Amino acid sequence: MPFDFSMNVSIDSPVTRLRGVGPKMAEKLSQLGIEQVHDLLFHLPLRYQDRTRITPIGALQSGSDAVVEGEIRAADVTFGRRRSLVCRLQDGTGTLTLRFFHFSAAQKNSLAPGTQLRCYGEVRRGASGLELYHPEYRQLSESQTHPVEECLTPIYPSTAGVSQSVWRKLCTQALAVLSGSSLPELLPGRAGNGTGLVQALNYLHAPPPDAPQELIRQGRHPAQLRLVLEELVAHNLSLEKLRRQQRSLGAPDMRAGQNATADFIKTLAFRLTGAQERVIAEIAADLGSGLPMLRLVQGDVGSGKTVVAACAALQAIRSGYQVAIMAPTEILAEQHWQGFQQWFEPLGSPMAWLTGRLKGKARRQTLQQLAAGDAALAVGTHALFQEEVSFARLGLVIVDEQQRFGVHQRLSLSDKASGRHGRPHQLVMTATTIPRTLAMVAYADLDCSVIDELPPGRRPVQTVLIDSERRQQVVQRVQAACDQGRQAYWVCTLIEESDALQRQAAEATCEELQQLLPQLHIGLVHGRMKAVEKAAVMAQFKSGEIQVLVATTVIEVGVDVANASLMIIENPERLGLAQLHQLRGRIGRGSTASHCVLLYQSPLGEHSKARLTTMRESSDGFYIAERDLELRGPGEVLGTRQTGLMEFRLADIQLHGDLLPEVQRIAQHLVDSDPARVDQLIRRWLGSAERFASV
Ligand code: ADP
Ligand code: MG
């Protein structure tokens, strides 16, 4: 049905001007960020079906989708494993079975022998040769012609209550509106491959029958690349904008405290690596610049990020500001608390400690100290960014192991600074070496420093894969290590996120090991324990009183006991590579050779085997992260909370990483030359989802 232009709809009109969009539908669309006609144009199909040609039954291949036409030769209800309606459809080239598990009497009657039928569905190999399960079908009458579809049929991302046929009707109308109006090109010149925006949109909503489907499936069709480029530019610009907004607010000037750092470094028991020195200098320059620092420090596990953070903290404190250090787990917060106390107490800087478990009077006192500015440094978990927490002069926020926190949390902590001094500086530290392509997208609002050097004398951890059938041998290995005065971790993993189950598994293992190794002191730490209990066990492990620490993945980040040189990880196939690398990073911190045993459950699937082999072959966090990205995709690598950042319509970092240099070039050009377009682009692609800029 041709679109009626007398309605005088433009691409900026609300979607309610389109046929079939009442208030209810408008609300559903609005939930997907679709308010105006032009939002529909940018609601792009996920994939396509080919209903443009009829395939002879004799030429069907299992596994593909196809349209077939033929005459029903038989229709029977069969009572095999499931009651089903089975029809035989025949054309001049062969016969095919149609199988329906759910069917009404009326349906059965309409599928009587002699009926001419056109069907669409996925061809599978079944009991009686090729079959279609529950195909879409319609009866053909001889008096009418039945044209096939003129273009590939788009399948749109959807939400409850909006069917694909509704999407098709809406997008068809939107395309008709587009043909009668103009949609501005926002990218400069012939960006990308020269495909125009309008051309690309038309192509992707309605690809011609001869469209190269394989290329489209791979996300590499020129029309896709044109839009992906624009989407990535828009995304980059929105993070840039966030960054500019933060910067425009100014920040505490911390030049005064710069000298304190040099004195502190002299007191350390070790010499800083060149990489640490470089990153410390980069941070010091940021802190003295008067603009809010937004810096991500990436450094493999054990590269010595904590001391870098300490230098930053000291500079801030000596400049008269407060510092908040946030860690993702209580154990890690505790560890930082102890470390920083050791470092800073001699310097006379009062510190405070805040986690969710701090209650009652102690909590009130701590909050009081922070609000009054009496405590110079606060160490804690996400409890630090709860509403009741306020700071008198917060000047620096340090977030450790950023991958566990979302961008919102980071920003909400920096919101705690009173306006007088501008934005606090932000230092984000992560051991998940983020592949460069991903970092360019996910952290485009941050500057990046890399600690690409480990302290001298570290020996890479030797990793072995052992079948859990040989568990006894592994237990003996624990005994042997302890006999040599070393300590060991035994890590229990479970696929369930449930703390309770993890705890059960860890408790059972602990008991079992205690029976098998009666002379050893075995401790247990899991997420369900009280903070003080955890801290007590960790302290005992650190002092060597406990020789074997059975743990859940709560020890994943930060825990630092140099004498531990053996780690057993049970069911490693259940964990991601980044997580395994983190865990393994708990050992290899002393000068003795360390070993990690991946105690897997056989049989291992192909995928698991590939992953565990990567762990055996490499101790390079960067390489492992690249493999992890390949094997699991960016959402997983960054942690689920980060995925909000990664919700692209078309772009896929793995498929389109090669576009990123051009993305950056174009984005920079637009910022310099055409700020108005920047906002238009952000609006076009991120729409009301421009949430990060408004936090
Ligand atoms: P991560 O980067 O994983 O957070 P840490 O900061 O916990 O690493 O450092 C790991 C260990 O290495 C700590 O015991 C720390 O004191 C020590 N360390 C840090 N820098 C150096 C250095 N330059 N030389 C020797 N040891 C160092
Ligand atoms: Mg650390």
In percent, how much of the chain has pLDDT > 70? 88
Q: Which residue has the least CA distance to atom 19 on ligand 1?
A: 304
Ligand 2 centroid to Cα of residue 427, in Å, is: 13
CA–CA–CA angle 325, 329, 333 (5° rounding): 40
Tell me which range, 578-587, 609-618, 627-636, is most confidently predicted by mean pLDDT. Answer: 609-618
Residue of 36, 49, 28 lying closest to 174 (CA atoms) = 36
Rounded to whole angstroms, the maximal C-alpha distance in the chain is 96
pLDDT digits (tens, 9 = 90+) for 164-194: 889 999 999 999 999 888 888 898 876 667 7
Q: Which residue has the least CA distance to atom 4 on ligand 1?
A: 305
CB of 260 closer than 6 A to ligand 1?
Answer: no
Ligand 2 centroid to Cα of residue 301, in Å, is: 7
CB of 455 closer than 6 A to ligand 1?
Answer: yes
| DSSP helix/strand/coil, 378 | strand
Work out which ligand 1 atom sits closest to the CA atom of 309.
6
pLDDT digits (tens, 9 = 90+) for 539-584: 899 999 999 999 987 776 556 788 999 999 998 988 878 778 888 9
Work out which ligand 1 atom sits closest to the CA atom of 562.
14
Q: What is the reported pLDDT for 643?
A: 37
Work out which ligand 1 atom sits closest to the CA atom of 306.
6
pLDDT digits (tens, 9 = 90+) for 266-298: 999 899 999 999 999 999 999 999 898 989 898
CB of 560 closer than 6 A to ligand 1?
Answer: yes
Residue 410, amino acid: R
Ligand 1 centroid to Cα of residue 303, in Å, is: 6
CB of 452 closer than 6 A to ligand 1?
Answer: no
Shortest-distance ligand to the CA of residue 452:
1
Kindly report the CATH number that applies to the domain delimited by 53-139. 2.40.50.140
Flag whether pLDDT at 644 surpasses 50.
no
453: CB partners within 8 A, 6+ apart: 273, 274, 275, 276, 303
Q: What is the DSSP letter of 114?
A: T
Q: What is the reported pLDDT for 416?
A: 64
Shortest-distance ligand to the CA of residue 301:
1
Residue of 432, 454, 461 lying closest to 634 (CA atoms) = 432
Least confident of 165-169, 308-312, 402-406, 649-653: 402-406
Residue 553, amino acid: T
Residue 420, exposed/middle/buried by CB under 10 A (0-12, 13-18, 19+)? Answer: exposed
Structure tokens at 289: 């610049």
Contact 60, 66 (CB under 8 A): yes
Position with higher pLDDT, 128 vs 124: 124
Least confident of 274-288, 303-317, 584-598: 584-598
182: CB partners within 8 A, 6+ apart: none
Work out which ligand 1 atom sits closest to the CA atom of 400.
4
> Ligand 2 being an ion, which residues bring their Cβ within 5 A of it?
558
Residue of 491, 457, 462, 454 lying closest to 618 (CA atoms) = 462
Q: What is the DSSP letter of 552?
A: -
- Compute the distance between CA of residue 656 and CA of residue 437 in angstroms, rounded to an integer: 9
| For ligand 1, mutation pick of 298, 306, 340, 428 (most atoms within 8 Å of CB) | 306
Which residues on adjacent β-strands are paired with residue 125? 130
CB of 502 closer than 6 A to ligand 1?
Answer: no
Flag whether pLDDT at 482 surpasses 60.
yes
Work out which ligand 1 atom sits closest to the CA atom of 308.
6
Shortest-distance ligand to the CA of residue 587:
1
Q: What is the reported pLDDT for 247?
A: 80
CB of 335 closer than 6 A to ligand 1?
Answer: no
CB of 299 closer than 6 A to ligand 1?
Answer: yes
Q: Which residue has the least CA distance to atom 20 on ligand 1?
A: 304
List strand residue ranges (DSSP E) for 321-460, in order.
322-326, 351-354, 377-380, 394-400, 425-430, 447-451
Contact 570, 494 (CB under 8 A): no
- The number of residues making up the chain comes to 695
List strand residue ranges (DSSP E) for 145-289, in order.
153-155
User: Any long-range contacts for 455-458 (C-beta under 8 Å, 24+ apart)?
Assistant: 455/270, 455/273, 455/302, 455/303, 455/304, 456/273, 457/591, 458/302, 458/588, 458/589, 458/591
Shortest-distance ligand to the CA of residue 302:
1
CB of 307 closer than 6 A to ligand 1?
Answer: yes
As a whole number, mean pLDDT of residues 402-408 equals 54
List strand residue ranges (DSSP E) for 3-115, in order.
47-49, 65-79, 83-91, 94-100
Position with higher pLDDT, 129 vs 544: 544
Ligand 1 centroid to Cα of residue 257, in Å, is: 23
CB of 589 closer than 6 A to ligand 1?
Answer: yes
Flag whether pLDDT at 494 surpasses 60.
yes
Q: What is the reported pLDDT for 642?
A: 38
User: Any long-range contacts for 505-513 (C-beta under 8 Å, 24+ apart)?
Assistant: 505/552, 506/550, 506/551, 506/552, 509/550, 509/570, 510/550, 513/475, 513/478, 513/548, 513/550
Contact 225, 651 (CB under 8 A): no
Q: Which residue has the least CA distance to atom 15 on ligand 1?
A: 304
Ligand 2 centroid to Cα of residue 514, in Å, is: 30
Contact 173, 158 (CB under 8 A): no
As a whole number, mean pLDDT of residues 326-350 equals 84
Q: Classify the phi-psi angles of 485: left when phi > 0, otherwise alpha if psi is within -120 to 50, otherwise beta.
A: left
Q: Classify the phi-psi angles of 39: left when phi > 0, otherwise alpha if psi is within -120 to 50, otherwise beta.
A: alpha
Phi, psi of 516 (to 5 degrees): -75, -25
The domains spanning 252-451 and 462-618 adopt the same CATH topology: yes
As a whole number, mean pLDDT of residues 112-116 equals 91
Q: 252-451, superfamily in CATH?
A: P-loop containing nucleotide triphosphate hydrolases (3.40.50.300)
Domain boundaries along the sequence of the chain: 5-48+153-218, 53-139, 252-451, 462-618
Shortest-distance ligand to the CA of residue 309:
1
As a whole number, mean pLDDT of residues 403-420 equals 58
In percent, how much of the chain has pLDDT > 90? 41
Strand-strand pairing, 65-79 and 83-91 = antiparallel
Work out which ligand 1 atom sits closest to the CA atom of 303.
2
Q: 462-618, superfamily in CATH?
A: P-loop containing nucleotide triphosphate hydrolases (3.40.50.300)
- Compute the distance between CA of residue 511 and CA of residue 509 in angstroms, rounded to an integer: 5
Shortest-distance ligand to the CA of residue 333:
2
CB of 431 closer than 6 A to ligand 1?
Answer: yes
- Compute the distance between CA of residue 635 and CA of residue 259 in angstroms, rounded to an integer: 41
Q: Among the residues of 522-605, which ranges form H helices?
A: 531-543, 577-584
Mean pLDDT for the chain? 85
